[in-house]
């Protein structure tokens, strides 16, 4: 299997899995890989994807990774958050990092300054 071969070839110690769409399925997939290939001993970490899509479509990301597709730039951003979260998050407009859906946010009360 390609994932197992990649992990063994590069001595992967940690795998970042974004918490977005299909994150649980991806986590199960990686656990299955580890069961089938005992030499794959890397730990897995679920990482927030908040703002990663904004970064991946940015000019900065295009300059950093001109040969990568937008989705791969996002994957790089998510993985970098494990190495140096602050260095990665400062590349994103704070307004793009939301903790809850837009519909769950309360509208500001104009009577309260």
Is there a single domain that holds both residue 56 and residue 42?
Answer: no
**103 domain residue, yes or no:** no
Instruction: Clarify whether residues 1 and 43 are in a common domain.
Output: yes
Per the domain annotation, does 113 fall within a domain? no
Residue 109 lies in a domain: no
Find the distance separating the first CA and the last CA of the chain, reported in whole Å. 58
Q: Which residue has the higher pLDDT, 104 or 34?
A: 34
Q: How many domains does the chain have?
A: 2
Q: What are phi and psi of 14, to 5 degrees?
A: -145, 135
CA nearest 62: which of 77, 47, 79?
A: 77
Q: What is the pLDDT of residues 39-62, one digit of tens each?
A: 999 999 999 998 888 999 999 999
Residue 60 lies in a domain: yes
Q: What is the CATH number of the domain that holds 27?
A: 3.30.420.140
pLDDT digit string (tens) for 26-44? 999 999 999 999 999 999 9
pLDDT band at 96 (very low <50, low <70, confident <90, very high): confident
pLDDT at 93: 83
Q: What is the span of the domain harbouring residue 14? A: 1-47
């Amino acid at each position: 299997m390609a994932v197992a071969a990649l992990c063994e070839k590069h001595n992967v110690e940690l795998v970042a899995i974004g918490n977005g769409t299909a994150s649980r399925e991806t986590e199960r997939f990686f656990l299955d890989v580890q069961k089938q290939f005992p030499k794959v001993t890397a730990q897995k970490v679920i990482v927030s994807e908040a703002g990663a899509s904004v970064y991946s479509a940015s000019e900065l990301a295009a300059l950093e990774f001109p040969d990568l597709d937008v989705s791969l730039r996002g994957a790089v951003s998510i993985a970098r958050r494990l190495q140096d979260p602050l260095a990665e998050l400062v590349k994103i407009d704070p307004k793009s990092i939301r903790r809850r859906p837009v519909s769950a946010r309360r509208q500001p009360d104009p009577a309260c300054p």
